Amino acid sequence: MKKEVRVIQTDEELKIFTDPYRMKIIDTFLETDEPLTVKMVADIMGEVPAKVHYHVQKLLSIQIVVLDHIEVINGINAKYYHLVNRVFQVEFSKSQPKKRLQQQIDKVTDYINNVLDTFKDDVEARSDFMKRDPEEKYYEGAIAQKAVYLNKDEYTDLYEEIQAVLDKYTKKAPGKKRYSSLAALIRKDQPKK
């Protein structure tokens, strides 16, 4: 049973979790939503298994992924891993030194920018495809950006609703097309001191 939210708290967890390559591995597990071997992850990512293995070991060290089961295939033990959580949250301690807090915030900001860049790449790739194949009739995409006003409880409710909607549509099935999705809530106004 997967836990709901994984809270990233320590510097070590943050360093391991926010690595862009490891985020791609996590995304691979999220997309397939099933236990995978390192070789399977590498094949999906188009990468070398040894490189993926190194990074999976890092994710294992902080229990982002865990061993699911072992199957003997042609006399070889194939280790299958799965994500423990589908949702991650970074927790900052205000009691730590200011410089360390700033470094943690920078790591999270870099991670968010990486997510935004990936989404932007997906938009540009689809646009390039449409330019190359103007006869393509199947183009669907939507984007919405609005300021919303929420109290703390409403923020939590909306966040949970967004997660529920995204989770509802993460299963592959015949006849379904794959979309890139991006949902975010970022506070715009600055709290009064």
CATH number of the domain where residue 42 is located: 1.10.10.10
Residue 34 belongs to some domain of the structure = yes
Residue 18 belongs to some domain of the structure = yes
Q: Work out whether strand 65-73 and strand 85-90 pair parallel, antiparallel, or are unpaired.
A: unpaired
Residues 6+ apart with CB under 8 A from 163: 87
Residue 64 belongs to some domain of the structure = yes
Statement: residue 112 has pLDDT above 60: yes
In this prediction the pTM is: 0.72
Residue 57 belongs to some domain of the structure = yes
Residue 63 belongs to some domain of the structure = yes
Question: Reduced to 3 states, what is the DSSP secondary structure of residue 55?
Answer: helix
Q: Work out whether strand 65-73 and strand 76-83 pair parallel, antiparallel, or are unpaired.
A: antiparallel
Residue 82 belongs to some domain of the structure = yes
CA dist 186 and 193 (Å) reads: 19
Mean pLDDT calculated for residue range 104-132 = 84
Statement: residue 139 has pLDDT above 80: no
CA dist 165 and 69 (Å) reads: 30
Residue 80 belongs to some domain of the structure = yes
CA atoms 140, 126, 38, 17: torsion sign = negative
What is the model's pLDDT at position 3? Answer: 47
- 51: amino acid identity, one letter: K
The overall average pLDDT reported for the chain is 85
**Could you count the other beta carbons within 10 Å of the beta carbon of residue 164?**
9
CA dist 77 and 85 (Å) reads: 25
How many structural domains are present in the chain? 1
Query: Residue 2: pLDDT band by 50, 70, 90 thresholds?
Result: very low
Q: What is the pLDDT of residues 63-99, one digit of tens each?
A: 999 999 999 989 999 999 999 988 888 888 777 788 8
Statement: residue 180 has pLDDT above 70: yes
Residue that wins the pLDDT comparison between 164 and 61: 61
Statement: residue 141 has pLDDT above 80: no
Residue 35 belongs to some domain of the structure = yes
Residues 6+ apart with CB under 8 A from 60: 66, 67, 81
Query: Residue 45's domain spans which residues?
Result: 1-91
